[in-house]
Amino acid sequence: MRAGSMGVSIAVNTLNVTLDLSALAKMKWYEYVVVFLSGGTITVIAGLLAREFGPAFGGLFLAFPAIFPASATLIEKHEKEKERPAEIANNDRGRQAAALDARGAEIGSIGLACFAFVVWKLLPVWNAGFVFCAALGAWFLISTFIWSVSEIYRRKTN
C-alpha cells in the first residue's frame, strides 16, 4: 500500500501538479453559496429518494452529478474573465478548461465506482470509519494512478 502511494506521488510530482491557494480568494462569495446549496440539496434528495423508494434506488443518486454543471460553468466563466485584459474575442479557452475538468472528473468517476465497491463489500463486516478511510484511499489512489498514466500517454503522443 505504501509502495503504491509512493509510486503515485512520484508520478504526480513529475506531472507538475501544483497547489495555488490564491485561487480560493478569487472565488466570489455567491460561488461558494451555489456549491454549498447544490451539495446540501442533493444530499437531502438522495436521503428522500432512499426513504421513499428504498436504498437500491436512492443509492444511484450518491453519484449524481449535482455539482458538476455549476463547477464547469464557473470554470468557463473564470477562464473567460482571464481573457478580457488581452481582449481575446472567442470563448474557446473557457470551454476547453471546462472540458479538461470534465476529462479529469471522468477518470475520477472510475475511482468513485471503486469507492462504492469497497464500501459495498467491506461495510457489513468492518468498522465504518476504517471502511470509509479505505474507500477514500481507493478513490484517490486509483483516480490519480489512471490520471498519471493518461497524462504520460498524452504527452508522449503529442
Partner 1 sequence: MEFLFRFIVGGLIVSLFSAMGGVLKPKSFAGLFSAAPSVALATLTLTIFKNGKPYASLESRSMIVGALSLFFYLALCSHLLMKYKIHAAMVTISGLALWLLCALGAWALVLR
Longest dimension (CA), the chain: 59
Q: Cα(145)–Cα(12) distance, rounded to whole angstroms? A: 8
Q: Cα(141)–Cα(148) distance, rounded to whole angstroms? A: 10
Note whether 32 binds partner 1 by CB under 8 A. yes
Taking contact as CB under 8 A, which single stretch among the options 2-10, 81-89, 115-123 is the one that binds partner 1?
Answer: 115-123
Q: How far is the CB of 36 from partner 1 (least distance, A)?
A: 4
Q: How far is the CB of 79 from partner 1 (least distance, A)?
A: 9
Taking contact as CB under 8 A, which single stretch among the options 1-9, 10-18, 81-89 is the one that binds partner 1?
Answer: 10-18
Query: Which residues 44-73 are close enough to bind partner 1 by CB under 8 A?
Result: 44, 46-48, 50, 55-69, 71-73
92-122 and 128-157 helices cross at what angle (nearest 10)? 140
Query: Which residues 69-108 are close enough to bind partner 1 by CB under 8 A?
Result: 69, 71-73, 75-76, 91-92, 94-108
Q: Tell which residue, 75, 92, 59, 72, has the closest CA to residue 27.
A: 75
Q: How far is the CB of 89 from partner 1 (least distance, A)?
A: 13
Rg (CA), the chain: 19
Identified binder of partner 1 from the candidate list 5, 7, 9, 12, rule CB under 8 A? 12
Q: Cα(13)–Cα(148) distance, rounded to whole angstroms? A: 10
Residue 124 DSSP SS3: coil
# residues near partner 1 by CB under 8 A: 84
Query: Which residues 122-151 are close enough to bind partner 1 by CB under 8 A?
Result: 123-124, 128, 132, 135-136, 139, 143-144, 147, 151
